[in-house]
Amino acid sequence: MKNVLIIGATGTIGSAVRQTLLNETDDHLTLFARSTGRLQPSDRETVIAGDVTNDADLDRALVNQEAVFVALSGPLGQFSRKIVAAMDRNQVSRLLFITSMGIYNEIPASVGSNGNLSHNGVLRPYREAADVVETSDLTYTVIRPGWFTNGPVNYEVTRKDEPFGGHDVSVSSIADFAKRAIADDGYYAHDSVGLNTK
């Protein structure tokens, strides 16, 4: 059993990771979100309403945590700096951070290279966050999923220096990868991985 903090618990990916961990592990989850009214926690869950830019909120959420999973949108560079600093303060080292495919211009033409950062400025905050996480002293894994689908668990992993393997990936596949990385601190540690449907 691990204590796992999910930041962005009400979003598509955060919700999927939550359900997978509840169904397939005995982990205790802390669900952190700006708006928690829709969350109905189980007896293995704690809910914290908070702002990721507020140090006190993050410090409260990080007490006794062993792994942190982050799936947010918005100014991700700012968010990542706050989260990394808070984890350092609270001596929590395992971080899984969702960014996006294309941030390293790793999408080949066969998949759709117009999805790369060089063609798509929307990805800039995702790259900024990845850079912050990768230069931290944490045991991090940056996760770069393809476009989300609702299919079954079926995915391949590419490394940072490899071309991205496909256009999309199921939400359940992202959650499965997260479950494995939470269970094993060494699983793709200090790595940035792409996830796409096989």
The closest alpha carbon to 48, from 35, 65, 31, belongs to 31
Query: Cα–Cα distances in Å, from 84 out to 57, 120, 146, 153, 168?
Result: 14, 26, 24, 30, 28
Q: How many domains does the chain have?
A: 1
For residue 109, the enclosing domain spans 3-197
Report whether 165 contacts 156 (CB < 8 A).
yes
Q: For residues 97 and 143, is the Cβ–Cβ distance under 8 A? A: yes
Measured at the alpha carbon of residue 81, what is the angle toward residues 156 and 69, in degrees to the nearest 5?
Answer: 40
pLDDT per residue as tens digits for the range 137-183:
999 999 999 999 999 999 999 999 899 999 999 999 999 999 999 99
CATH of the domain at 79: 3.40.50.720
Beta strands at 28-33 and 45-49: parallel, antiparallel or unpaired: parallel
Check: pTM over 0.75? Answer yes or no.
yes
Could you read off the pLDDT of 78-119 as tens digits, one per residue? 999 999 999 999 999 999 999 999 999 999 999 999 999 999
Q: Report pLDDT for 38.
A: 87
| Beta bridge partner(s), residue 168 | 147
pLDDT at 153: 98
Tokens, residue 152: 């079954």
34 in Cβ contact with 50 (< 8 Å): yes
